[in-house]
Amino acid sequence: MFTPDYTLLLQVHAAATFYLVGLIWVIQRVHYPLFSHVGSTGFAAYEQLHVRRITPVVGPPMLVEAATAVALVALAPPEAPAGTLWLALLLLAAIWVSTALIQVPCHNALSRQFNEAAHERLVRTNWLRTVLWSVRGLLVLHILASTTRSTG
């Protein structure tokens, strides 16, 4: 019978989460604000290239994070903080919903032409994902500490 390695699962999850926490802060503080400096003439092409290039940078880690978050909840050993695992999963669901319902439509609008309102909405609403991923990072640290204390 297969026995999952919970420690390895948690380490992979933590790596994906911490990678995404760092990435969202760079996007929020550096990348998205600079969109307004590209210029309207070539902005649609710039945005389309941004989407094409950022997708493989963010997509696979988001899928790994989601799959391992679900697995952590499903396979949690008794020493794992169940409430924290569920809260982290709930925050991840909120990130995905925000991405699908808010940020993707902003990018779609911007891929047609620069639109100041869409850009401002993208920057403003992306703070939600930035905060949620940051809180998730703290929760993952708590989960790591809890499971390390009880197994180490």
CB atoms inside a 10 Å sphere around CB 113 = 12
What torsion, rounded to 10 degrees, do the Cα atoms 9, 11, 16, 17 define? 110
Q: How confident is the model at residue 150 (pLDDT cuts 50, 70, 90)?
A: low
pLDDT of residue 2: 53
Each residue's pLDDT tens digit, 68-121? 999 999 998 888 899 999 999 999 999 999 999 999 999 999 999 999 999 999
User: Which pLDDT does position 77 carry in this prediction?
Assistant: 82
* Residue for token pair 């994902």: 129
> Which pLDDT belongs to residue 151?
52
Residue 126 confidence (pLDDT) above 80: yes
Res 89: pLDDT:
98
Distance CA 130, CA 31 (A): 13
Structure confidence at residue 148 as a pLDDT band (50, 70, 90):
confident
Residue range 4-14: mean pLDDT, rounded: 92
Q: Indicate the burial class of 15 (C-beta count within 10 angstroms; 0-12, 13-18, 19 or more).
A: middle
- Could you read off the pLDDT of 36-68 as tens digits, one per residue? 999 989 999 999 999 999 999 999 999 999 999
The H-assigned helical ranges of the chain are: 6-26, 32-34, 43-75, 82-98, 104-112, 116-151
d(CA 97, CA 87): 15
Residue 139 or 5, more confident:
139
